[in-house]
Amino acid sequence: MSRVHNFNAGPAVLPLSVVQELAAALPDYQGLGIGLMEMSHRSKPFEAIVNSAVAGLRRVLGVPDDYKILFLQGGASLQFYMHALNLALPGEGTDYVITGTWAKKAYEEAKRCTAAASVWSSKATNFNAVPALDAITPRAESVYLHYTSNNTIYGTQFQGTPKVDKPLIADLSSDIASRPVDVGAHALIYAGAQKNLGPSGVTVVILSPWALERSRLANATRPGGLPAMLDYALQSENGSLYNTPNTFGIFALDRMIAWVESLGGLSAIAARNTDKADRLYAELDRSAFWRPHAEVASRSQMNVTWRLPSEELEKRFLTEAKAANMVGLDGHRSVGGVRASMYNALEIESVDFLVDFMRAFEAKHG
Ligand SMILES: *Cc1c(COP(=O)(O)O)cnc(C)c1O
């Protein structure tokens, strides 16, 4: 078997040890004579998996005891609508920080069911920056402020938790579990699992007591109540088992959390991610041949984006990179150029391999 250097943006590289653990669970889970995907979501063994995944996430992320953790479906894209539907009533103000494509989609969905407004945007500079942590001013009438922690497509990232005196809602899809986060400073966090926590098809939602209370209020106030599948309070009362969840995905997430803990938890993971990002940004800053997209103060450790002097050279770079066993480096069409995604499971060796390749490419074409 030969695995290539995988810089995919999501779904993305997983640790080989975890992939092997998942594969082993498919034909026969723990000697039960049936495979992981063949057992009831209401069985004892699966109940143990959900409980372990919830407890593991709580430990690793430092989720306060009075917060709830849910595993839902529909991706982060369903959360764009669901958080707004549950947390604000029709006509109530909600605030959005527009730092990229995903942030804008959250805002567009929230407009369907609340009086949503954009309170900050970097659209004019093609989303090359996020605001400073104390630079966002929510509207007095707004119920909450929503931000996107890491902008997967543009390669920018908030360097910490924004400071605002409103309940904070965060999309952590592409940097959850990559560094310590102050969960208690948030009213609600959501994240699709497919970047740092396993396969697609599971969405982590972390709810504060305030968020649950708001969900109950929305259910009582919105005409006809909330649709069952979109009701945080109902999902919470059923422990993520209101209907059949993605059992395989939740098992994978549990194994990913165990892997993070085996490396020493979030501070160790963060040090490793900083090391990887430093190596790549040092190369991007070494020569004017590379044209990094993000402003220095907004740089992402998860997704790094840059252009080359011409589209012709970019094409050549990507073709040669592929031939050298590196995949997933094509930039998203809205930025162009190159994007290297470096989620938790990407090894330092893959970053060094890319940097060596870049130096050789620049020497040849620069
Ligand atoms: C990938 C991504 C999404 C979309 O996730 P889906 O699970 O495909 O809906 C949303 N937000 C961010 C920040 C992402 O990186």
Question: Average of pLDDT values for 263-276?
Answer: 98
Which of 231, 262, 293 represents a domain boundary (last residue)? 262
Distance 80 CA to ligand 1 centre (A): 10
pLDDT digits (tens, 9 = 90+) for 50-76: 999 999 999 999 999 999 999 999 999
Residues annotated as catalytic are 102, 171, 195
Q: Is the pLDDT at 141 greater than 90, yes or no? A: yes
CA-proximal residue: ligand 1, atom 13 (nearest)? 173
CA-proximal residue: ligand 1, atom 7 (nearest)? 75
Residues 81 and 207 in one domain: yes
What does the DSSP 8-state code read for residue 331?
P
CB neighbour class for 243 (10 Å; exposed up to 12, middle 13-18, buried from 19) = exposed
Residues 140 and 286 in one domain: no
Of 99, 130, 174, the one to substitute when testing ligand 1's pocket (max ligand atoms within 8 A of C-beta) is: 174
Q: CA dist 272 to 3, 111, 346, 351, Å?
A: 21, 39, 10, 11
Distance 221 CA to ligand 1 centre (A): 29
On whether residue 329 sits in a domain, the answer given is: yes
Residue type, 250: I
Distance 27 CA to ligand 1 centre (A): 31
CA-proximal residue: ligand 1, atom 2 (nearest)? 173
Residues 239 and 165 in one domain: yes
Q: CA dist 160 to 147, 182, 203, 246, 281, Å?
A: 12, 9, 22, 31, 19
On whether residue 6 sits in a domain, the answer given is: no
Ligand 1 atom nearest 172 alpha carbon: 13
Q: 15: cis peptide before it, omega within 30°?
A: no
Residues 257 and 269 in one domain: no
The span from the CA of 149 to the CA of 157, in Å, is: 6
Residues 147 and 244 in one domain: yes
Distance 211 CA to ligand 1 centre (A): 21
Which of 262, 294, 323 represents a domain boundary (last residue)? 262
Helix locations, the chain, DSSP H: 16-25, 44-61, 75-87, 101-111, 209-221, 232-237, 247-262, 265-286, 311-323, 348-365
The span from the CA of 228 to the CA of 183, in Å, is: 26
Ligand 1 atom nearest 79 alpha carbon: 9
Q: Is this structure's pTM higher than 0.75?
A: yes
The span from the CA of 196 to the CA of 325, in Å, is: 22
The sign one gets for the Cα dihedral 219, 220, 224, 228 is: positive
Distance 151 CA to ligand 1 centre (A): 9
**In which band, very low, low, confident or very high, does the pLDDT at 2 lie, cut at 50, 70 and 90?**
confident
Residues 277 and 241 in one domain: no
Of 8, 72, 77, the one to substitute when testing ligand 1's pocket (max ligand atoms within 8 A of C-beta) is: 77
Q: Ligand 1: residues within 6 Å at CB?
A: 10, 75-77, 102, 148, 152, 171, 173-174, 192
CATH number of residue 303's parent domain: 3.90.1150.10
pLDDT digits (tens, 9 = 90+) for 316-325: 999 999 999 9
CATH number of residue 148's parent domain: 3.40.640.10
Distance 75 CA to ligand 1 centre (A): 7
On whether residue 10 sits in a domain, the answer given is: no
Which two structure tokens, joined as six digits, stand for 1?
């078997």
The span from the CA of 75 to the CA of 197, in Å, is: 13
The span from the CA of 221 to the CA of 213, in Å, is: 12
What does the DSSP 8-state code read for residue 216?
H
Residues 220 and 303 in one domain: no
The span from the CA of 325 to the CA of 323, in Å, is: 5
Instruction: From 154, 159, 82, 79, select the one nearest 121 (Cα to Cα).
Output: 154
Of 71, 173, 301, 341, the one to substitute when testing ligand 1's pocket (max ligand atoms within 8 A of C-beta) is: 173
Residues 188 and 216 in one domain: yes
Q: How many CA atoms lie within 13 A of 107 on its CB side?
A: 18
Q: Are 84 and 93 in contact (CB under 8 A)?
A: no
Percent of the chain with pLDDT over 70: 100
On whether residue 124 sits in a domain, the answer given is: yes
pLDDT digits (tens, 9 = 90+) for 155-192: 999 999 999 999 999 999 999 999 999 999 999 999 99
CA-proximal residue: ligand 1, atom 5 (nearest)? 76
CB neighbour class for 222 (10 Å; exposed up to 12, middle 13-18, buried from 19) = middle
On whether residue 156 sits in a domain, the answer given is: yes
CA-proximal residue: ligand 1, atom 12 (nearest)? 173
- The predicted structure's pLDDT at residue 297: 98
**In which band, very low, low, confident or very high, does the pLDDT at 1 lie, cut at 50, 70 and 90?**
confident
Q: How many domains does the chain have?
A: 2
Distance 93 CA to ligand 1 centre (A): 24
Residues 233 and 302 in one domain: no
Residues 280 and 347 in one domain: yes
On whether residue 257 sits in a domain, the answer given is: yes
On whether residue 2 sits in a domain, the answer given is: no
The per-residue pLDDT of the chain, averaged, comes to 97
Q: Is the pLDDT at 349 greater than 80, yes or no? A: yes
Residues 164 and 114 in one domain: yes
On whether residue 5 sits in a domain, the answer given is: no
Q: How many CA atoms lie within 13 A of 141 on its CB side?
A: 8
What per-residue string of b and e applies to 286-318 under the rule 16 or more CB within 10 Å gives b?
eeebbebbbeeebbbbbbbbbbbeeeebbeebb
- The predicted structure's pLDDT at residue 185: 98
pLDDT digits (tens, 9 = 90+) for 283-336: 999 999 999 999 999 999 999 999 999 999 999 999 999 999 999 999 999 999
Which of 193, 228, 262 represents a domain boundary (last residue)? 262
CA-proximal residue: ligand 1, atom 3 (nearest)? 76
Ligand 1 atom nearest 10 alpha carbon: 1
Residues 6+ apart with CB under 8 A from 317: 308, 329, 338, 361
Of 152, 195, 339, the one to substitute when testing ligand 1's pocket (max ligand atoms within 8 A of C-beta) is: 152
The span from the CA of 197 to the CA of 309, in Å, is: 35
Cα 102-103-108 angle, rounded to 5 deg = 95
- The predicted structure's pLDDT at residue 244: 97
Residues 245 and 313 in one domain: no
Ligand 1 atom nearest 75 alpha carbon: 7
Q: What domain range includes position 312?
A: 265-365
Distance 173 CA to ligand 1 centre (A): 6
What per-residue string of b and e applies to 210-221 under the rule 16 or more CB within 10 Å gives b?
ebbebbeebbee
